[in-house]
Amino acid sequence: MKASLPRRQRMDRPRRSPAAVQLVAGVDAADDMFGSLAGCPPRPLEYPVVPDLDDYDVDDAPVAGRPAPASDKTLAVHAGEKLGSGAAAAETDSIATPIVGGTTHWFRDSADLIAFREGRRRSFEYGRYGNPTVKVLEEKISALERAEATLVTSSGMNAIVATLLALVPPGGHVVATADCYSEARAFIRDKLSNMGITSTFVDLDDDMEALESVLDEGEVTMFYADSMTNPHLKVVDVTRVAELCHRRGALVCIDSTLASPINQKPLALGADVKPLALGADVVLHSATKYIAGHHDVIAGCVSGSEALVSRIRTWHHDLGGAISPNAAYMIIRGLKTLALRVQAQNRTALRMARLLEKHPKIERVYYPGLESSPWHGVATRQMAGAGGVVGLEVASDMRGAMRFVDALELPLIATSLGGCESLKITHECEYGRTEGKGKCDEEKAKNGIKDNFVRFSFGIEKFEDLRDDILQALGKI
C-alpha cells in the first residue's frame, strides 16, 4: 500500500543540530529509544532523564522524484480508512469505521455474483470469509507491516496454527527456536508430528551454527522464531536467518508480538521500509497485546505476500477462526494510538531497566535496550525501540521475589503484556498450561527461568509513579 498525505505548513522554529537528531535505521528521533537515550551525557542521578524531543520525522526529507510514504503514526490513524482502498467499509461519512455486523451479504443479480466470484467486483459474501470492518483492520496492519496482505484471526494461537498448517505440508520439516512461545512449541512438537511433519529446536544464543547445521542436514520447510522472546527478550538476527534459510529454500516466520509493528518490520517487502525490512516471509502477532493495547480483546494476525497469505486464509476459512466485527472495531480504535503507546512504553522500560541495573537488590536485568545486553547490537540494527517488557532477577529467593511483587501497588499481577496498564508476574512459567505442572520446573530450568525472576510489562503510566512504586517495593525484600 502506498499512501502520502499533503504536507501542512509548519511555523518556523529553531531546529536541533543534525547530531542531536539521531536516527536508527531511518526511524524518527522521537521513536528511537536507543539513540535518544544512549546519546545523553552521563548524569549524577541514579536514573536517566529523557531529553525533550521535537517531532522531527524522517518523512520531512522525502526522496527526490517520489512522495514520501506516510509515517507509522499517520498510517496507524488513517490506513484502511482515509488512506485505504475505499471499498473496505460501508459507505459513510463517519470518521469512525462502522461496525458491519451482518453475517450475510446479498448481490443485485446473477451477473453481480459472477463478477464477485471472478474478482471483478470487490464485495463480501459470508462473515467467515470476510467482513468490511475486519477488512479495514487488515489493511491498517498491512500498511504498518508494509505487507501485501494481512489476515486477522480470532486469536494469536489461531494465526500460528493456520500459518503452520497452510505453509508446512506433510513430510515437511520445521526448525524453531527452543524458547519460542510455549504453546506454539507444543503444537509444532506434538501436533504436527502426528501429521508426518518433523521438527528441530535450536538455540541461537551464541551464533548461527546450530541453524546452519540443521539446514545442511536436509530440506527444511520453515524456520519459526519469536523476536523478541518471552521472557528473556532475546533478539533473533532476522536478516542473517533469512539469508541462511532462503539460500536453502526455507520460509522464515517471525512472531513479532513483543516488538510490535512500530519497533520492528520483519518482512522482506518494501526495501525503503523504516526501520529496515529484515527479510522474513511471514510475520505473526498476538494482536491481543500491543496492537489492541487495552487488555479487552483477543485476536491474532499474520502478514506477508498476497500469495502466502491467500494460502493461510484458505486454511483459516476451514478452521473457522473468524474475528467478530465488534472486536475488529475495538482493535482499530486501539491502533490509532499504537505509535504513541509504544513510544511511551519504550521510554519507560529503558529508563526503568537502566535504573534497576544499578540497584543493589537486583542481580540481573534482561532488556535489549541496555548496552550490557548481549542482544543490544542486533536490537539496535533492526529495531526502533526495545519494547515495554523488562525481565529481572531479584537478589533473593522465590519468597523474596514474591514479597517484592506483592508490595507493588501500581502494576497488576497478570500474564499478558502490551496494554496501557503495567503488569507484573513472578517466577514466570508459561509451561504449566501446555506441558503439565510436573514438567514446569524442568522446562523453567531448561530455559533459564529462575525462581527469583520477575517480568514487567510497562504501560503508559507516568514513569516517576512507577519508579517510586518499584523502589519502595524493593525495600521490602
Domain definitions of the chain by residue range: 96-333, 339-475
Residue (of 285, 250, 248, 254) closest to 267 by Cα position = 254
Say which CATH class 339-475 falls into.
alpha beta
Is residue 375 within 8 A of residue 389, CB to CB? The reply is: no
What pLDDT, on a 0 to 100 scale, did the predictor assign at position 444?
A: 66
Q: How many CB atoms lie within 10 A of CB 71?
A: 18
User: Is residue 106 predicted with pLDDT exceeding 90?
Assistant: no
Residue (of 396, 390, 374, 400) closest to 424 by Cα position = 390
For residue 223, what is the enclosing H or E element?
strand 222-226
Which residues neighbour 436 within 8 Å (Cβ) at sequence distance 6 or greater? none
User: Is residue 472 predicted with pLDDT exceeding 80?
Assistant: yes
User: Of residues 83 and 13, which shows the higher confidence score?
Assistant: 83
What pLDDT, on a 0 to 100 scale, did the predictor assign at position 340?
A: 97
196-200, 216-220, 369-373, 403-407: range with lowest mean pLDDT: 216-220
User: Is residue 142 predicted with pLDDT exceeding 90?
Assistant: yes
Select 96-333's CATH number: 3.30.450.40, 3.40.50.450, 3.40.640.10, 3.10.180.10. Answer: 3.40.640.10
Taking 3-state DSSP, the helix, strand and coil percentages for the chain, each rounded to the nearest 5, stand at: 35, 15, 50
Average pLDDT along the chain: 82
For residue 76, what is the enclosing H or E element?
helix 72-78
User: Is residue 61 predicted with pLDDT exceeding 70?
Assistant: no
What pLDDT, on a 0 to 100 scale, did the predictor assign at position 2?
A: 43
Beta bridge partners of 425: 455
Query: Which residue type is seen at 412?
Result: L
Residue 344 to residue 68: CA distance in whole angstroms: 25
Share of the chain above pLDDT 70, in %: 77
For residue 313, what is the enclosing H or E element?
helix 306-319
